[in-house]
Amino acid sequence: DDVLRVEGLTKIYPDGTLAVDDIDFSIRRGDFCVIIGPSGCGKSTTLHSLVGKIAPTEGAVVLDDEDITGTPTYQRDIGLVFQDFQLFPHLSVEENITYGLERTNVPVDVVDERLENVLEMMQLHELRGRSPKALSAGQKQRVALARSLVLEPKLLLLDEPLGDMDYKLQKRMERELLRIHRELDTTFVYVTHDQTQAMRLADQIVVMNGGKVEHSGPVDEVYDRP
Ligand code: ADP
Ligand code: ADP
């Protein structure tokens, strides 16, 4: 059962750069999928095509059997956690989390219920009134995740979210992500260039190189896991 299919996706930027070259892959529902490859191989271009920040030159993005290639970003049931989190500095933690949800037609009582749930899950209760400026990297990460999760997307994309953290914090956040993934019924798509991280996190892996997909499938078929 695949939640997402990418079919013949190609992106040529206006300056002529062929960033993604006719790639195909699919993502199983509920999996923790990792897209891995060296810098410049086309990971971000692929991710941004999935969320609709980039219009592909050719090919299709199919979510739950529906072609969403031309669907505006905000109408896609896909969440994105940015590398640098992009929290609103002038809003509190709580306001950051509910900002997107309050702009949907979800009723107020459901907004409150989801907010309380996600604060609990991400252990953010004590920080709810704080400004993002007063948070550590790990705390910001949790707010960024909470802000996406509260929208209950079919797919949550994470663009190297642990890139700027020191090793100890990174390991802790990995465990946190795995716990959240288990608790929720959501599919994660996690982009990284770090192979050891991929092996710790992935059920399924998509290996990219030079704008192509080299392998994709269950992690045990791609790497020998220790
Ligand atoms: P990755 O995320 O794996 O580092 P990217 O998708 O960012 O790879 O980039 C793939 C290729 O496309 C690289 O050669 C990069 O320089 C190029 N590229 C990315 N964005 C643009 C852009 N807006 N215009 C032109 N070339 C770009
Ligand atoms: P990432 O590795 O996450 O893709 P980059 O630092 O490569 O981040 O890119 C940051 C921004 O610059 C992106 O918006 C990307 O599209 C753009 N960019 C990257 N490479 C090029 C390029 N060769 N020409 C023009 N824009 C680029």
pLDDT tens-digit profile of 41-73? 999 999 999 999 999 999 999 999 999 999 998
Q: Ligand 1 pocket by C-beta < 6 Å: which residues?
A: 13, 15, 17, 19, 37, 39-45
β-strand pairing of 78-81 with 212-218: unpaired
Q: Tell which one of 13, 18, 83, 158 to mutate to probe ligand 1, the residue whose CB is within 8 A of the most ligand atoms.
A: 13
Q: Across the chain, how many H-helices and E-strands are there?
A: 7, 10
- Write 163-169 long-range contacts (CB < 8 A, 24+): 163/83, 163/192, 164/83, 164/84, 164/137, 165/137, 165/138, 165/141, 169/137, 169/138
pLDDT band at 74 (very low <50, low <70, confident <90, very high): confident
Q: Is the pLDDT of residue 14 over 60?
A: yes
Name which of 6-10, 48-52, 78-82, 109-113 the model is least confident about.
78-82
pTM, rounded to two decimals: 0.87
| CA nearest to 59, candidates 29, 31, 18 | 18
Q: Which atom of ligand 1 is closest in space to residue 44's alpha carbon? A: 2
Distances (CA, A) of 213 to 167, 178, 210: 28, 25, 8
What phi-psi label fits residue 179: left (phi over 0), alpha (psi between -120 and 50 degrees) or beta?
Answer: alpha
Give the distance (Å) from ligand 2 centre to CA of residue 40. Answer: 9
Residue 225's pLDDT is 56
The answer, yes or no, to whether ipTM is higher than 0.85 is: no
Nearest ligand (C-alpha, residue 44): 1
Q: How far is the CA of 66 from the centre of ligand 2 (A)?
A: 29
Which ligand has the nearest atom to the CA of 16?
1
Say which ligand is closest to the CA of 49.
Answer: 1
